[in-house]
Structure 1
Amino acid sequence: MLASVAQKGLVGLIWVCTWIPLVGVSLAVAQTPATPLALSDEQVTKYARIVLEMEPHRQEAQQRSQATEDPATKDQIRREFIRTATEIITRHGMTVPEYNRITLWIRSEEGKELKQRIEAEILRLQSRDSHRKP
């Protein structure tokens, strides 16, 4: 099933600006939110679930994109990923702007504490899920 992000040695390293994608936002336009984010435990869990569900799709899109030199194909892969990511985000009850705002915040110096909460929640969810599998 879903391979453990922690097992791949990615937690901690993957939080460097490239792992969690901003959905449908140019990085040139994206800015860290001016207002500090205070998320409830429920919101942290929601975000962690989104990240875990989105990661295999991100990896696949990245591999497909790296396998081609055609700009039109790369653009199509990017659009497909954005569509899939948007579906995942909204299915979990979050909007794309909310998701992007959290992503920008945890990438910022001010977002370290929230990033740690999310990392811990990802590990908790993975641990729980691994114990449920036969």
Structure 2
Amino acid sequence: MDFLVTLRRLKELKVDVFFYNERIHLLSQAGELLLTLHAGIAQAESENKSENILTNEKYTGASLYGETEPADFPSTKRMVCDPIEVHRSRNHHPPIIQERRFKRVQKLKAKYDALRQLSNSPIGEATAFGALGLGIFIFMQKVVIAK
């Protein structure tokens, strides 16, 4: 959002900024509205990528081979293979998130899912929110880990 603050300062100074790809002039009537919408969309995409990093094992540098195979050629369906035939490769590529942190997030997600099932009962709801402990908060069914 520092981007929007900077643009507003430029607008106050009557400096026109033109975004070529979007064809938006900052000083036009709809310019700031469109830029605010684009900034909101970019923020949502960034949050989505962050969530993917916390939930997808590939971002730890590991890779699975042979987990699924094509069912038949014309279709795009895939069949799950025998777990014995699955090969896990560690340090396949540089990690984005540490494996320790990834495992911690997975444990918290499992705990949260169990508590969410408990919270479906009237008595369980109060228990579920109290049982999460310090540093973990729930906002609109998302787990936020405090540092």
Largest Rg, 1 or 2:
2
Length-normalised TM-score, structure 1:
0.27
Q: TM-score with structure 2 length normalisation? A: 0.25
- Structure with the higher fraction of residues in helix conformation: 1
